[in-house]
Amino acid sequence: MFVVASLQACFWLSNRFRLKFIFASQQEFKSKMQALDIRKENLHKKKQEMADYIIKYDQFLKENDQKKQRARMKAEKERELKKQREIDLINMHAETASLKEEKKMLDLNVRKNAVYARYLEKVLEVSSEFQEIRQLLGRYDTLISTNKDLLQTAQENQEVIEKAGAQLAHCIEQKTDEILQYNNKLSDLQTLLDRAHSKALLWESRWAHIQNTAAKKTLLLGTIKMATLNLFQTIVKEMKDEAVAVPLEDTATQLDMIQQHIQRLTEIWQEVTKTDDSTSGTNQTYQNPKKVTH
């Protein structure tokens, strides 16, 4: 019993030690996991800080590049502006020189045209209509403008006349073509009319021939009807026992009656002929024995 109790006590102590060891291990594991979580969170924060720093650094680089680009563009514009100013300065010098030359030419023209000014002054002295050279020049400009307007009007009128002439020529040509077409149509219609007259004459002659033929046939038909009626009336007189009611105008029925009467007469004649033949044969038979007897 003591041994069993000792074994149980040892087993209980062993289990308790194991439980303590397991609990200590769990506590250590939890501590390590918490430390790892803290470290992981710190690493995440550092990673986020690094990402923010990288973003800020990239933004700084981009801004720096933009500033450099703007500085380059500004310097380029300033160089171009400087070149343009130099070109403008050269052009201005050239234009100044050209204006100076033009001034010289104008001064020369003024000296040349001074005689005209003096002439205009003399015109004013003898003219009572104008008081100043400006009025005289205004009248001259007005006359020049009027002359230009008249020339333009004359040119426009000439163009209108030319257009009207061209339209008239075109219209005449068109109407001439139409007249030729109408003449051709008239010629064709005259040909058709002549043909129609020829055909009309032909058909008139044919119609006259038809009328003459119809008259002859009508006369022949009347003769036939009269002959038929006479023959029919003769037959009716012979047919005393039969009542016959046929209109005088019904020639077809009369012909049928005549044909039937002729057939009956033919049949009678055939019967009479047969009777005569049989009678003559009998007579010959009676005569032949007599001859043999003698």
CA pair distance 140, 124, nearest whole angstrom = 13
Q: Is 232 buried (19+), middle (13-18) or exposed (0-12) by CB count in 10 A?
A: buried
Q: Is 254 buried (19+), middle (13-18) or exposed (0-12) by CB count in 10 A?
A: buried
User: Using an 8 Å Cβ cutoff, are 136 and 120 in contact?
Assistant: yes
Residue 210 lies in a domain: no
Residue 135 lies in a domain: no
User: Using an 8 Å Cβ cutoff, are 130 and 139 in contact?
Assistant: yes
Residue type, 34: Q
Residue 229 lies in a domain: no
Residue by residue, pLDDT tens for the chain (294 residues) are: 555 566 666 666 666 666 666 777 778 888 888 888 888 888 888 888 888 888 888 888 888 888 888 888 888 888 898 888 889 889 988 989 898 888 888 888 878 777 777 777 777 777 777 777 777 778 778 989 999 899 999 999 999 999 898 988 988 988 898 898 989 988 999 998 888 888 888 888 888 888 888 888 888 888 888 888 888 788 777 766 555 677 877 888 888 888 888 888 898 888 888 887 777 655 555 455 444 333
Q: Which residues constitute the domain of residue 49? A: 23-126
Residue 28 lies in a domain: yes
Sign of CA dihedral 220, 221, 222, 223: positive
The reported pLDDT for the residue numbered 208 is 85
Residue 152 lies in a domain: no
The reported pLDDT for the residue numbered 221 is 84
Residue 43 lies in a domain: yes
Question: For 64-73, how does the pLDDT look when each residue is reduced to its tens digit (9 = 90+)?
Answer: 888 888 888 8
The reported pLDDT for the residue numbered 87 is 92
The reported pLDDT for the residue numbered 286 is 47
Q: Count of domains in the chain?
A: 1
Residue 170 lies in a domain: no
At a CB cut-off of 8 Å and minimum separation 6, what does 254 contact? 228, 229, 231, 232, 246
Q: Can you give the pTM of this predicted structure?
A: 0.29
Residue 66 lies in a domain: yes
